[in-house]
């Protein structure tokens, strides 16, 4: 899966490396093997890269100076945030000709504005730090995902991160009011506007959101804040099928409206994995069920009506046989225990051998059909494969993961990744879905995007890339391969 240094690129010279070091000062670079090593392997251990130099600039001017030097020398540059991305976008290629630039030292919260309900945070701020800063100001920043203790806000913007609260608050695209970024020629785009309404032409900010480091380096963002939820009701219900889960979803929306903040699905096999491998977890329901729904309803002021509406809903759906059993968390500790079951699925799956992972979305109504059809197809391809289809059902987003058959050879199973993925992605496309719901394209899905994207859309993406990055120095070989 290696790529050679693209023909248009130059190998970094000792002079360039020295100029880059001078641009960021002593604290701003490293070429120490041990220090650099964690930055060269991706979260899933799929890619091991090489770089002659890791840069850690502390200001936007330093980022700009570095990019300008690389652009002039035609040397590619890879931006990296918390390196928690799941598609191999933040790790350099094996050829060793790319400079790695980490944003971790740009970690200041520049401003919290409680009148505008916004926060200006530098790219290197850890997501959890941003959530805490919002809370300290009596506000709420809703982006929430398993990697929040280490992913960075710049990485979240660059990947258009989703997570567990998209249903109510939207993904990153909807949570960013403005952006500051260094473009591939080194110029600084100062788009740190905190406007709620701005209809003045093409939206460069939206182009940079989700661009995965291929159109520029994001150095700061203005984020939307919300009133904090003061009440939360977390329900864990056993259901017979994904169809029943979807029926429950519609009824929950009818009964509770916008209060439904999260609606997650997991199959029994996922719960079995969690119970077997994650210490301190227990099955919250008395008997096993084929699928489980984790539904969260929140209110931003104390609202007795919400608790009542939830109780009435649960009574009705139990009576109708739509759910088999359910538990509602009695307090924060129990709510966290229920969330832990859902959030530990990926971790637990690691203990079951190799897994081939997909992050797909389809129109919500077709989700049960997708799970059925794709499961049937992969089970035919790899007898004994264990389908672990879980995720953000309320957004039509399923992590359609495959665990190796019991007692199979890990490497032999993983060698079928492309074959299995093509089958799953073909099923997704047949159903009008997307091969990347929230993790992005990066390196892992680049060729699948070429295979499956609308040619017109791909042409336009290439045109945009060539316009903003004519020398293809910004994270080349990721997301798109401009012709």
Of 9-17, 134-142, 147-155, 271-279, which part binds ligand FAD (CB under 6 A)?
147-155
Of 145-153, 185-193, 297-305, 381-389, which part binds ligand FAD (CB under 6 A)?
145-153
Confirm if 461 and 214 have CB atoms less than 8 A apart: no
Q: How far is the CB of 292 from ligand FAD (least distance, A)?
A: 18
Residues 163-182 that bind ligand FAD (CB under 6 A): 163
Distance between CA atoms of residues 87 and 99, nearest Å: 19
How far from the centroid of its chain's Cα atoms is residue 72's Cα? 33
Q: How far is the CB of 6 from ligand FAD (least distance, A)?
A: 17
Tokens of 253: 């929306």
Q: Is 158 in the site for ligand FAD (CB under 6 A)?
A: yes
Q: Is 217 in the site for ligand FAD (CB under 6 A)?
A: yes
Tokens of 154: 């710049």
How many residues touch ligand FAD under the rule CB under 6 A: the total is 37
- Among residues 239, 205, 242, which one has the least CA distance to residue 224? 205
Q: Please, which residue, 143 or 299, has the CB nearer to ligand FAD?
A: 143
52, 76, 81, 477: which one binds ligand FAD (CB under 6 A): 81
Q: Please, which residue, 122 or 317, has the CB nearer to ligand FAD?
A: 122
Q: How far is the CB of 128 from ligand FAD (least distance, A)?
A: 12
Q: Is 444 in the site for ligand FAD (CB under 6 A)?
A: no
How is residue 330 annotated by DSSP? S
147, 256, 294, 420: which one binds ligand FAD (CB under 6 A): 147
Residues 17-76 that bind ligand FAD (CB under 6 A): 43
6, 146, 290, 369: which one binds ligand FAD (CB under 6 A): 146
Q: Please, which residue, 160 or 421, has the CB nearer to ligand FAD?
A: 160
Q: Is 477 in the site for ligand FAD (CB under 6 A)?
A: no
- Phi/psi at 188 (nearest 5 deg)? -95, 125
Which residue spans within 230-288 are E strands per DSSP? 231-239, 260-267
218, 295, 326, 360: which one binds ligand FAD (CB under 6 A): 218
Distance between CA atoms of residues 195 and 167, nearest Å: 23
Confirm if 41 and 72 have CB atoms less than 8 A apart: no
| Class of residue 380 by CB neighbours under 10 A (exposed 0-12, middle 13-18, buried 19+) | exposed
- Among residues 238, 262, 273, which one has the least CA distance to residue 387? 273
Distance between CA atoms of residues 170 and 319, nearest Å: 33
- Classified as helix, coil or strand, 190 is strand
83, 298, 344, 404: which one binds ligand FAD (CB under 6 A): 83
Q: How far is the CB of 457 from ligand FAD (least distance, A)?
A: 19
51, 64, 84, 472: which one binds ligand FAD (CB under 6 A): 84
Q: How far is the CB of 383 from ligand FAD (least distance, A)?
A: 30
Q: Where are the alpha helices (DSSP H) in 344-431?
A: 345-350, 367-381, 410-414, 417-430
Q: Please, which residue, 56 or 439, has the CB nearer to ligand FAD?
A: 439
Of 144-152, 331-339, 410-418, 424-432, which part binds ligand FAD (CB under 6 A)?
144-152
Q: Is 101 in the site for ligand FAD (CB under 6 A)?
A: no
Q: How far is CA 213 from CA 149, 160, 178, 333, in A?
A: 21, 11, 17, 38
Residues 342-381 that bind ligand FAD (CB under 6 A): 346
Pairing of strands 325-328, 231-239: antiparallel
**401, containing H or E segment:** strand 397-403
- Among residues 6, 164, 154, 26, which one has the least CA distance to residue 85? 154
CA dihedral 398, 151, 440, 260 (to 10 degrees): 40
Of 150-158, 299-307, 415-423, 456-464, which part binds ligand FAD (CB under 6 A)?
150-158
Which residues are near ligand FAD by CB under 6 A?
Answer: 43, 78-86, 89-90, 103, 123, 145-147, 151-152, 154-156, 158-159, 161-163, 212-213, 217-218, 346, 438-439, 442, 475, 478
């Amino acid at each position: 899966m290696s790529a050679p240094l693209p023909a248009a690129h130059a190998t970094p010279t000792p002079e360039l490396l020295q100029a880059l070091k001078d641009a960021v000062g002593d604290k701003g670079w490293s070429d120490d093997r041990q220090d650099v090593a964690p930055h060269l392997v991706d979260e899933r251990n799929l890619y091991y890269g090489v770089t002659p130099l890791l840069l850690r600039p502390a200001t936007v001017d330093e980022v700009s100076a570095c990019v300008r030097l690389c652009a002039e020398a035609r040397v590619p540059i890879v931006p990296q945030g918390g390196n928690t991305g799941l598609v191999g976008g933040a790790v350099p290629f094996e050829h060793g000709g790319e400079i790695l630039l980490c944003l971790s030292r740009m970690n200041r919260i520049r401003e919290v504005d409680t009148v505008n309900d916004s926060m200006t945070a530098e790219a290197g701020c850890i997501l959890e730090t941003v959530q805490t800063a919002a809370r300290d100001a009596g506000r709420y920043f809703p982006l929430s995902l398993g990697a929040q203790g280490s992913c960075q806000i710049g990485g979240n913007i660059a990947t258009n991160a989703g997570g567990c609260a998209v249903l109510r608050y939207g993904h990153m695209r909807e949570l960013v009011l403005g952006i500051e970024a260094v473009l591939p020629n080194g110029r600084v785009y100062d788009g740190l506007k905190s406007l709620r309404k701005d209809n003045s032409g093409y939206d460069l900010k939206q182009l940079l959101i989700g661009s995965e480091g291929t159109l520029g380096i994001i150095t700061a963002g203005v984020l939307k804040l919300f009133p904090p939820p003061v009440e939360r009701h977390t329900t864990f219900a056993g259901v017979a099928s994904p169809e029943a889960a979807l029926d429950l979803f519609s009824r929950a929306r009818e009964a509770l409206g916008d209060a439904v903040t999260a609606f997650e699905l997991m199959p029994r096999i996922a719960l079995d994995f969690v119970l077997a491998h994650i210490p301190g977890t227990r099955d919250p329901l008395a008997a096993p069920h084929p699928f489980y729904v984790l539904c969260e309803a929140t209110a931003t002021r104390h609202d007795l009506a919400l608790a009542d509406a939830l109780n009435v809903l649960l009574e009705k759906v139990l009576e109708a046989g739509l759910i088999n059993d359910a538990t509602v968390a009695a307090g924060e500790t129990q709510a966290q225990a229920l969330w832990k079951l859902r959030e530990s699925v990926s971790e637990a799956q690691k203990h079951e051998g190799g897994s081939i992972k997909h992050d797909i979305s389809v129109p919500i109504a077709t989700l049960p059909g997708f799970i059925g059809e794709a499961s049937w197809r992969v089970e035919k391809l790899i007898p004994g494969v264990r389908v672990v289809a879980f995720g953000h059902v309320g957004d039509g987003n399923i992590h359609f993961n495959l665990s190796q058959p019991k007692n199979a050879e890990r490497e032999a199973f993983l060698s079928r990744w492309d074959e299995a993925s093509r089958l799953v992605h073909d099923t997704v496309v047949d159903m009008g879905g997307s091969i990347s719901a929230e993790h992005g394209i990066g390196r892992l899905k680049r060729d699948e995007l070429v295979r499956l994207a609308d040619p017109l859309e791909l042409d336009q993406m290439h045109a945009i890339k060539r316009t903003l990055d004519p020398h293809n120095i910004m994270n080349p070989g990721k997301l798109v391969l401009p012709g």
